[in-house]
């Protein structure tokens, strides 16, 4: 979602004549988009902004903007702490960055802009210059905010209540991206299953997927994130029904212990979760699955942690994003007792990641000898005439080929497996 917001800002600024630079020293504006979901991300922002003080004193015309969740969370505390900061822009103010910069030109003083709500949408194709994207895949936000209030999570506080964008706006944005050469879209929302609630027109997430299938010519469609408690039979069946929808699902489980899931306010048990995975695999046996999990939630015992490991071994995810729990301001779990020590969290995370690394590698190995449809994204990082793309299940594949394949779906025979990627041979 931050990537999407940063792209929007990039477009707004390029409409005003700015270009992007790889070198901080050359920048006239430094725009820092921020995440506050875990403590570490917030610390990184603060130390980065601190390091920019010297640069600003050498070049007083430089404008420094902090936007996004940390901006929303800390507001004036940021301008007080960092007097070299020009603008602090909250999560619902990102679309106004251009106007805020203009105002700042006229009246250069520190400003904190944290609007309660944004106009539904600031995407206006006619206001934007040239290509909307230089990439084959692009994110598109379909909703903002979250109403779930998992006890550990800061998102509902910094991104606000759930609000859906209208299907018409989403479709016109996707169609504009298509005209720029985008072939795959990733729909974004904290809980896509509740898409459509609160809109005047009667619509649902599956309706939106069906309209995208019908009214665009994308090669691939993906979405994230789905909450296990709201994953419906209808959405599971959409994977079989809609050809452009990739058979790949990110379904965060967070913990394998029912006791912990309850104190997290997740509203499902581990057996509810496993049942949904079974249903999905009945509908699509080759479904790619990824998830999020946390270790060291307050009160997590060795037994709870073993339940988490057990769930990982049962499901065998293709990919897993794993985190150490960290206290976040405003959240309920911040006030929970029985916090887990840093050492225990570290040990549990290392153990869990070793187990998942083995599973990911074995799953990659099982791909060797198969034919996979790959959407080519560009040159491989290794260079050497290699190009790269993703399989439907989101595995990275590198193979020899020409850049004229970029944006096409090609068939690749998988020859070799590594921990994080596959190597193959172009078949057609």
Residues in contact with ligand SF4 by CB under 6 A are 146, 148-150, 153, 155-156, 190-191, 227
**Would strands 87-89 and 111-113 be described as parallel, antiparallel, or unpaired?**
parallel
Report the nearest approach of ligand SAH to the CB of residue 6 (Å). 17
Between vectors from CA 427 to CA 424 and to CA 428, what angle results, nearest 5°?
130
Report the nearest approach of ligand SAH to the CB of residue 272 (Å). 15
Pick out residues in 111-170 that bind ligand SAH (CB under 6 A): 152-153, 155
**Comparison of 315 and 422: residue with beta carbon closer to ligand SAH:** 315
How many angstroms separate the Cα of 395 from the Cα of each of 99, 158, 174, 389? 41, 32, 24, 8
Pick out residues in 163-202 that bind ligand SAH (CB under 6 A): 190-191
Which residue(s) pair with 67 in the sheet?
33, 89
Which residue(s) pair with 138 in the sheet?
185
Report the nearest approach of ligand SAH to the CB of residue 105 (Å). 36
**The tokens 């944006």 sit on which residue?**
407
Per-residue contact string for residues 27-66; x = within reach of ligand SAH by CB under 6 A: ----------xx----------------------------
Q: What 8-state DSSP symbol labels residue 369?
A: T
Q: How many CB atoms are located within 10 Å of the residue 76 CB?
A: 11
Choosing among ligand SAH, ligand SF4, none, which partner's interface includes residue 328 (Cβ < 5 to 8 Å by kind)? ligand SAH
Q: 225 preceded by cis ω (within 30°)?
A: yes
Choosing among ligand SAH, ligand SF4, none, which partner's interface includes residue 156 (Cβ < 5 to 8 Å by kind)? ligand SF4
- Structure-block tokens of residue 132: 């909307």
**Comparison of 94 and 155: residue with beta carbon closer to ligand SAH:** 155
99, HSE (Cβ side, Cα atoms, 13 Å): 7
Q: Looking at 50-58, 174-182, 232-240, 319-327, which segment touches ligand SAH (CB under 6 A)?
A: 319-327
Which residue(s) pair with 422 in the sheet?
397, 417
- Structure-block tokens of residue 170: 């989403």
**Comparison of 136 and 155: residue with beta carbon closer to ligand SAH:** 155
Choosing among ligand SAH, ligand SF4, none, which partner's interface includes residue 82 (Cβ < 5 to 8 Å by kind)? none
- Structure-block tokens of residue 351: 């153990």
Choosing among ligand SAH, ligand SF4, none, which partner's interface includes residue 38 (Cβ < 5 to 8 Å by kind)? ligand SAH
DSSP-based three-state secondary structure for 321: strand
Choosing among ligand SF4, ligand SAH, none, which partner's interface includes residue 326 (Cβ < 5 to 8 Å by kind)? ligand SAH
Report the nearest approach of ligand SAH to the CB of residue 329 (Å). 10
Pick out residues in 224-243 that bind ligand SAH (CB under 6 A): 225, 227
Q: Does 295 bind ligand SAH (CB under 6 A)?
A: no
Report the nearest approach of ligand SAH to the CB of residue 298 (Å). 10
Strand spans (E) along 6-93 = 29-34, 63-68, 87-89
Pick out residues in 349-388 that bind ligand SAH (CB under 6 A): none
Judged by CB under 6 A, the residue of 121, 241, 292, 413 near ligand SAH is 292
Size of the chain in residues: 428
Q: Does 253 bind ligand SAH (CB under 6 A)?
A: no
**Comparison of 178 and 230: residue with beta carbon closer to ligand SF4:** 230
Residue-wise burial string across 357-393, b where 16 or more C-beta atoms lie within 10 A, e elsewhere: eebbeebbeebeeeebebbbbebbeeeeeebbbbbbb
**Would strands 137-141 and 396-400 be described as parallel, antiparallel, or unpaired?**
unpaired
Q: Does 323 bind ligand SAH (CB under 6 A)?
A: yes
How many angstroms separate the Cα of 420 from the Cα of each of 42, 190, 322, 390, 423? 27, 26, 15, 12, 10
Contact assessment for residue 239 and residue 245, using Cβ atoms and an 8 Å cutoff: yes
Report the nearest approach of ligand SF4 to the CB of residue 63 (Å). 31
Choosing among ligand SF4, ligand SAH, none, which partner's interface includes residue 323 (Cβ < 5 to 8 Å by kind)? ligand SAH
Q: How many CB atoms are located within 10 Å of the residue 19 CB?
A: 9
Judged by CB under 6 A, the residue of 167, 252, 298, 401 near ligand SAH is 252
Task: Give the interface with ligand SAH as residue ranges (CB under 6 A).
Answer: 37-38, 152-153, 155, 190-191, 225, 227, 252, 254, 292, 294, 323, 325-326, 328
């Amino acid at each position: 979602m931050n990537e999407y917001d940063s792209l929007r800002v990039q477009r707004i600024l390029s409409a005003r004549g700015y270009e992007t630079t790889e070198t901080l020293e050359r920048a006239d504006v430094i725009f820092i988009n921020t995440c506050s979901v875990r403590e570490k991300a917030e610390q990184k922002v603060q130390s980065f902004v601190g390091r920019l003080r010297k640069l600003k004193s050498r070049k007083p015309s430089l404008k420094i903007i902090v936007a996004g969740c940390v901006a929303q969370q800390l507001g004036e505390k940021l301008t007080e702490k960092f007097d070299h900061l020009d603008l602090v822009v909250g999560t619902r103010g990102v679309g106004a960055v251009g106007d805020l910069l203009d105002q700042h030109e006229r009246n250069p003083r520190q400003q904190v802009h944290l609007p309660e709500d944004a106009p539904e949408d600031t995407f206006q194709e006619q206001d934007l210059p040239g290509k909307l994207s230089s990439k084959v895949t692009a994110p598109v936000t379909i909703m903002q905010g979250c109403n779930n209030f998992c006890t550990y999570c800061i998102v509902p506080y910094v991104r606000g209540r759930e609000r859906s964008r209208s299907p018409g706006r989403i479709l016109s944005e996707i169609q504009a991206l298509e005209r720029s050469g985008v072939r795959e879209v990733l729909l974004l929302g904290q809980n896509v299953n509740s898409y459509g609630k609160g809109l005047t027109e009667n619509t649902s997430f599956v309706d939106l997927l069906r309209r995208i299938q019908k009214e665009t010519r994308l090669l691939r469609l993906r979405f994230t994130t789905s909450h296990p408690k709201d994953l419906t039979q209808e959405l599971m069946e959409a994977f079989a029904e809609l050809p452009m929808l990739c058979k790949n699902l990110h379904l965060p489980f967070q913990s394998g212990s029912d006791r912990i899931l309850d104190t997290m306010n997740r509203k499902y048990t581990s057996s509810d979760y496993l049942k949904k995975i079974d249903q999905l695999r009945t509908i699509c046996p080759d479904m790619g699955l990824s998830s999020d999990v946390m270790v060291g939630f307050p009160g997590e015992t060795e037994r709870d942690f073993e339940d988490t490991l057990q769930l990982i071994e049962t499901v065998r995810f293709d990919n897993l994003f794993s985190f150490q729990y960290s206290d976040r301001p405003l959240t309920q779990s911040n006030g929970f007792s029985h916090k887990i020590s840093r050492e225990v969290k570290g040990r549990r995370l290392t153990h869990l990641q070793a187990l998942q690394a083995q599973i990911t590698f074995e799953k990659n190995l099982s791909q060797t000898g198969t034919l996979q449809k790959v959407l080519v994204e560009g040159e491989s990082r290794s260079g050497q005439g290699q190009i790269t793309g993703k399989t439907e299940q989101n595995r990275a594949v590198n193979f020899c080929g020409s850049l004229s394949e970029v944006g096409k779906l090609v068939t690749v025979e998988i020859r070799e497996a590594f921990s994080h990627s596959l190597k193959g041979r172009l078949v057609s």
